[in-house]
Structure 1
Amino acid sequence: MVGFLLSLLGLFAGFLGALVGVGGGVIVVPILILLFDLNAERAVGTSLLMIVFTALSATFAYVRQKRIDWKVGLVAATTTVPGAVIGGFATKYVPSRFLSIILGVTVFFIAAAMLRRSYRTGKAATVVARGPQARKGVWARRIVDSTGKVFEYDAKIYSGLVFLFLGGLASGFLGIGGGLIVVPIFVAMVGLSIHIAVATSMLTMIFTSIAGVSTHILLGNVLVDYAAPLVVGILIGAQLGARTAKQLRSTGLERVFAVAVLLIGIVLIIRQLMGI
């Protein structure tokens, strides 16, 4: 019965994670603590093992859709990976409540800004200045997906590296995929379309979550008997989420993401302030 419930949890987390690029850990970690009576460290470590498979499954789906910006995703991983390792070891020394509150407040305001911009402009934010306006550190990018849709933008990857490091830090410390921070940075700072941002974040998340879970394995925080049924659900849910994301318009997907993250930020803050 426990295994079945964990599989259902994985299915839901994988669907949401692939749909909006958040990995699903932000749902799984609180539930593992509240309903399955795991301590925070083991919930975080077990969640990260699950997220490895979320990211792998969703990335395979997005490869078929041809919506991954490989250059941006791999460069982003060079900062999220060390962040995840540091975050993993920090679970031994730093109270997670403090960082959870900071993360909750941060993602709340990021999501609110994305939601406001989406309704104000009527379209997802992208950077369209190209050619002569391009400058050092700005990459002119052109991606054609499997349906023939063209995404053109100037990627300002270096402007977001510090914040991407924080995304990796949050991943290793809190057992989330890092997409809560990475996707908004890809959209608002780097200049990716929301569709490309979600797909690319999954590529980055593969490396981030592997680094984080490796650290937690060394610390003895990963429970394979809990992770296995979660992964079964994840592999199905992530495929469904990626396919659903393909059907949504950029505006709709950005709003879905913003609302989801807004609610997650509120839950994180309330949980920590109430001590639950």
Structure 2
Amino acid sequence: MDWLYVLMPISGVTVFWPGLVILGVGVGIIGGFFGMGGAWMVTPGLNILGFPMAFAIGTDIAHMAGKSLISTMRHGRFGNVDYRLGMIMLVGTVVGFECGAQMIMWLERLGKVEFIVRWMYVVLLILIAWMVFADVAKKRSKEKEARDKGLDEDKLATGLEWHKTFHKLKIPPMMHFKAAGFTCSVWLPIFISFLTGWLAGILGIGGGLIRMPALIYFIGCPTHIAVGTDLFEVMISGLYGAGTYTFKGRTELVAVVIMLCGAAIGAQIGTVATKYIKGYGIRIAFGIAVIGCCISIIMKLIPRYVAGTKAMMDTCSTVLILGLVGALSLYILVKMIQGAKQEIAMKKGGA
């Protein structure tokens, strides 16, 4: 079965290449659907497949940049991208990303990058999962309260509305974002993008994992606009990140090419699916994905504390991350096909 493995010339590790293809296709679908590069699944996935963490980070950022370009073009056609907001956020993203990348190089010299990055992932994923499901629960509570009072449900209502507090900060200059439909201080998206860029540089992600929720809960974007705008931001920050990690010798280009072949197809499917699955359907699926990814990382940490479990935990975490990518991709594909069939049937009925 040696033909199923390929040597990575820069990192020197031998990798199960069908796993790279599965990650590429699946995360292409998931990334295009959720509005992110998918690095929050690919970086742990590459690490689980055998890449050292620093190489997993650099390789995924390079793969993510090309895939996000395809998805952004598709979302732009649907009117889901607020380009003004995205360009302003670049200011904070680039500065924050470089700070995070320099911190990774420092941790690598100390020999602590694997341990610290994995635990940061666990904490971040738990916080994001809590935020998503708290939002869904509060939204459903509001809908139930409205029904009990005999009132019409507000389809635009959200559960967590932290953005309303931030919009009260009238620090000049103020700017209106037409596609997203709100006005706020320019400093709000710059500050949020700096924090997400810093975390992106440390964790090896384009920022989509944290920026998409930040756009919704802290800045106030509608979900579909957050998806498209985030992908635009992921594309730019990913190109910058790919350059800086390649310069530092931490990008495995062979793996990038293998994953991009599948991701180019998957990104098209995921982007089109957002036309048929809106708002809280996207958020719930996103929350489930975050929990599954968090469990896989915890599995990789267990051998540090329980002797003799490394082989079993490596196998279980690999099966979980690839199974999660496959299951979510299938769900998104099925929903897209169902939505397309309904749209065609309605058009025929109207004709």
Please state which band the TM-score falls in when normalised by the shorter chain: 0.7 to 0.9
Partner of 1:110: 128
Partner of 1:28: 42
Q: SS in structure 1 opposite 2:105?
A: coil
| 1:219/1:164 CA distance change after superposition, 3 Å | same
| 1:274/1:161 CA distance change after superposition, 3 Å | farther
Partner of 1:230: 259
Q: Is the 8 A contact 2:59 2:253 kept in 1?
A: yes
In structure 1, distance between residues paired with 2:279 and 2:221: 11
In structure 1, distance between residues paired with 2:136 and 2:257: 38
Higher relative contact order (CA 8 A, sep 6+): 1
**Pairwise mapping of residues 106-255 of structure 1 onto structure 2 (< 5 A)?**
106-122=124-140, 123-124=157-158, 135-136=170-171, 139-143=175-179, 152-155=181-184, 158-255=187-284
1:6 aligns with 2:20: yes
In structure 1, distance between residues paired with 2:184 and 2:125: 22
The Cα offsets for residues 207-227 of structure 1, whole Å up to 9 and x where unpaired, read as 211221111111111111111
Partner of 1:148: none
Q: How far apart are residue 100 of structure 1 and its match?
A: 3.4
Q: Structure 2: which 5+ residue stretches go unaligned?
A: 6-16, 141-156, 305-313, 315-351
Which one-letter code corresponds to 1:17 in the other structure?
G
How many residues align structurally? 265
Q: Structure 1: which 5+ residue stretches go unaligned?
A: 144-150
Which one-letter code corresponds to 2:277 in the other structure?
L
Q: How far apart are residue 134 of structure 1 and its match?
A: 9.1
Q: Is the 8 A contact 2:74 2:271 kept in 1?
A: yes
Q: How far apart are residue 99 of structure 1 and its match?
A: 3.8
Q: SS in structure 1 opposite 2:178?
A: strand
Which one-letter code corresponds to 1:232 in the other structure?
C
Q: How far apart are residue 15 of structure 1 and its match?
A: 1.0
In structure 1, distance between residues paired with 2:44 and 2:169: 44
Q: Structure 1 residue aligned with 2:92, among 66, 76, 79? A: 79
In structure 2, distance between residues paired with 1:255 and 1:157: 30
Q: Is the 8 A contact 2:61 2:242 kept in 1?
A: yes
Higher radius of gyration, 1 or 2: 2
Q: How far apart are residue 5 of structure 1 and its match?
A: 4.1
Q: Structure 1 residue aligned with 2:29, among 15, 20, 30? A: 15
Which one-letter code corresponds to 1:241 in the other structure?
G
Q: SS in structure 1 opposite 2:181?
A: strand
| 1:210/1:18 CA distance change after superposition, 3 Å | same
Which one-letter code corresponds to 1:85 in the other structure?
E
Q: Structure 2 residue aligned with 1:59, among 55, 68, 72? A: 72
In structure 2, distance between residues paired with 1:253 and 1:30: 22
Q: SS in structure 1 opposite 2:275?
A: helix
In structure 2, distance between residues paired with 1:186 and 1:175: 19
TM-score, length-scaled by structure 1: 0.84
Which one-letter code corresponds to 1:81 in the other structure?
V
Partner of 2:55: 42
Q: How far apart are residue 128 of structure 1 and its match?
A: 9.7
Q: How far apart are residue 157 of structure 1 and its match?
A: 5.5
In structure 1, distance between residues paired with 2:188 and 2:139: 23
| Bigger mean CA offset, 169-178 vs 50-59 | 169-178
1:101 aligns with 2:119: yes
